[in-house]
Each structure stands twice: as C-alpha cells, then as structure tokens.
C-alpha cells in the first residue's frame, strides 16, 4: 500500500493514469469499468486506485500517486492550491448547484424561513465532517456572515458529527438542536425514512458548486500534450448507468476552476486557506 492506495491491475506498458473517488466505499466494480472505458478512449493505461479516506485521497493527489480525483468542492480547492496548474475539468450535473439545509429538532419551535434564521443563536449546533463543503465550510460562512462571529461564539455548544446521515440522526433524537446537512443526503434520507417527523428543514442555502473531477497540471508532460482535454471529453461521454448510479448522478458536465472561486474565497475568510 502506498499513500493509502490499493491499485487495481493495469497494463504493464507505459505510465499509468491513476484516479481515485472519495466516498466510493465498496463500489469497486463500476469504477473498474470506468477505468476500462477511460483507457479505451485515451489510449493510455488507466487504473482505479481506491483511497481509504478523503485525506488519503488528497494526499495521494498531492504526492502524484493519483493524477485524477473525484473530490468534494473544498477538497478540490485544497489540492489545486497545493498542486499549481491543476484544473477542475468536469462535475456532475446535480453538483453544479449544490445546497445545504439547516435542520432543527421540532421541539425548538424553529420554523422554515426564507431569510437566514438568526433565531438559531444560543441553540446547540452540529456540523458534519470538519472538511465537508456542505456540512462545514459553507454553513460556517453563512453563520459568520449572519452574526459576524464564529460558531463557537454564536451557539451554546458546537459539534461535528463526521457525516451527513449522522447529523440528521443527532438532530432527530435531540442531541443537537440544529444542524447543517447536504440537501442531496437529506432528500435521499427522507425518501427512505420510516422515522417519525421530529426534524424539519428551516432554511435552504443559495446554490454553490460541489463535487468535481480535478486533474493534475503536469499530466501533459507525462501522458502527452492535450491529455487534459481528452480526459475531460472522456468523462463527459460517460453514459453507462452502472457507473453513473455509483455516483448517484445523471451525467457529467464541464467544469473549470473559476466556478469554484467562491469556495476558495470562503475558505480564506474562514481561515482554512492562507
């Protein structure tokens, strides 16, 4: 194992273009199929290299153990900051305008609002994972914007659930009064839930870009001039339902670094980037 990677088999001739996907879990088969499809279109060896965590995925990209990565919005901003010249080249159609929800336990008496609900001040609050775009970065930005103070100064208690589904559960059982959760995860959870409705959405954020494919800026030197655009085209051509279902999305569309400039600005404001 190198850098948290478990490489799949790849042709022995020529340099191998390795890619990883955060939160892929046990979905190795469709991603191996993706590697085969990319290899056929690009004409270079391609290998899917799973990583054991989001931090391992970012480290692998930074260390050039992988050259292409499907990352959350903030993670993409981070690796492009550390690897100059890297580009966001594709995103899912659904993630071009992602949102997060503020959810509250019904016992708080908080009601849905169009404007940011300042009534959450003084309540207990949980984010998701510390590095999450929709579970931490963007919610903290709007909290600071609304109150001019850090979350620790706004709320009676601040926690980090580690994942969106656990945020929902913690607010549902009343461990925290309010939480921030990805709109996509919430919507999926509500479709399959059998739990009584003790938690509600009280605010929906403005849209922001999220998950994207980022490629290193030095791939042309390794794999030949124009490889970046060829990889982009190959990703945009994916129509295999098994592959798209693994991502939980309908298709990939073009992306660029400029679309993620707002996230970079937020990361600097909240002290997560220099």
Q: What is the dihedral of CA 54, 266, 219, 256, to 10 degrees?
A: 120
What is the C-alpha separation between 29 and 21, in angstroms, rounded? 13
pLDDT band at 192 (very low <50, low <70, confident <90, very high): low
What is the structure's pLDDT at 262? 85
Q: Which two tokens stand for residue 41?
A: 């279109």
Rg (CA), the chain: 20
**pLDDT value of residue 95:** 86
Domains of the chain in start order, with CATH, are 17-95+209-269 (3.40.190.10), 99-204 (3.40.190.10)
* Short-list 81, 180, 185, 165, CA closest to 124: 180
DSSP state of 206: P
pLDDT for 184 equals 83
Higher pLDDT, 5 or 105: 105
Within 10 angstroms of residue 107's Cβ, the number of other Cβ atoms is: 10
| Cβ atoms within 10 Å of 11's Cβ, excluding its own | 11
Kindly state the tokens that stand for 110: 């908080």
Q: How far apart are CA 111 and CA 203, in angstroms?
A: 9
Average pLDDT estimate for 152-163: 96
pLDDT of residue 5: 46
At 141-151, the pLDDT tens digits run: 999 999 999 99
Tokens (6 digits) for 4 = 């948290």
Read off the pLDDT band of 268 (50, 70, 90): confident
User: Biggest alpha carbon distance in the chain?
Assistant: 64
Structure tokens at 150: 């850090």
Q: How confident is the model at residue 12 (pLDDT cuts 50, 70, 90)?
A: very low
Which of 86 and 250 is assigned the larger pLDDT?
86
SS3 state at 90: strand
* 236 within 8 A of 252, measured Cβ to Cβ: yes
DSSP secondary structure letters along 66-94: -SEEEE-HHHHHHHHHHSTT-EEEEEEGG
Please give the residue that has the higher pLDDT: either 104 or 274: 104
- Cα separation, 6 vs 140, in Å, equals 34
Does residue 156 surpass a pLDDT of 80?
A: yes
**For the segment 116-127, what is each residue's pLDDT rounded down to a tens digit?**
999 999 999 999
């Amino acid at each position: 194992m190198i850098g948290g990677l478990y490489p799949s088999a790849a042709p022995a001739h020529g340099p191998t273009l390795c890619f990883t996907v955060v939160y892929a879990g046990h979905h190795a088969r469709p991603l191996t199929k993706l590697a085969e499809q990319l290899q056929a279109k690009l004409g270079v060896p391609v290998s899917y290299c799973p990583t054991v965590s989001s931090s391992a995925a970012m480290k692998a990209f930074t260390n050039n153990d992988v050259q292409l990565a499907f990352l959350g919005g903030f993670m993409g901003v981070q690796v492009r900051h550390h690897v100059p010249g890297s580009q966001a080249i594709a995103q899912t159609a659904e993630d071009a305008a992602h949102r997060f929800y503020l959810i509250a336990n019904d016992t708080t008496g908080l009601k849905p609002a169009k404007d940011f609900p300042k009534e959450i001040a003084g309540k207990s609050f949980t984010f998701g994972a510390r590095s999450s775009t929709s579970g931490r970065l963007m919610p903290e930005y709007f909290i600071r914007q609304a109150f001019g103070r850090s979350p620790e100064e706004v709320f009676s208690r601040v926690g980090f659930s580690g994942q969106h589904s656990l945020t929902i559960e913690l607010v549902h059982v009343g461990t925290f009064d309010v939480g921030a959760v990805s709109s996509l995860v919430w919507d999926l959870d509500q479709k399959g839930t059998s739990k009584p409705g003790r938690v509600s959405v009280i605010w929906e954020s403005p849209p922001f870009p999220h998950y994207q494919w980022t490629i290193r800026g030095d791939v042309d030197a390794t794999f030949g001039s124009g490889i970046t655009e060829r990889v982009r085209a190959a990703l945009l051509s994916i129509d295999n339902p098994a592959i798209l279902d693994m991502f939980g999305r309908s298709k990939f569309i073009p992306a660029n670094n400029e679309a993620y400039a707002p996230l970079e600005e937020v990361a600097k404001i909240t002290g997560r980037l220099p």
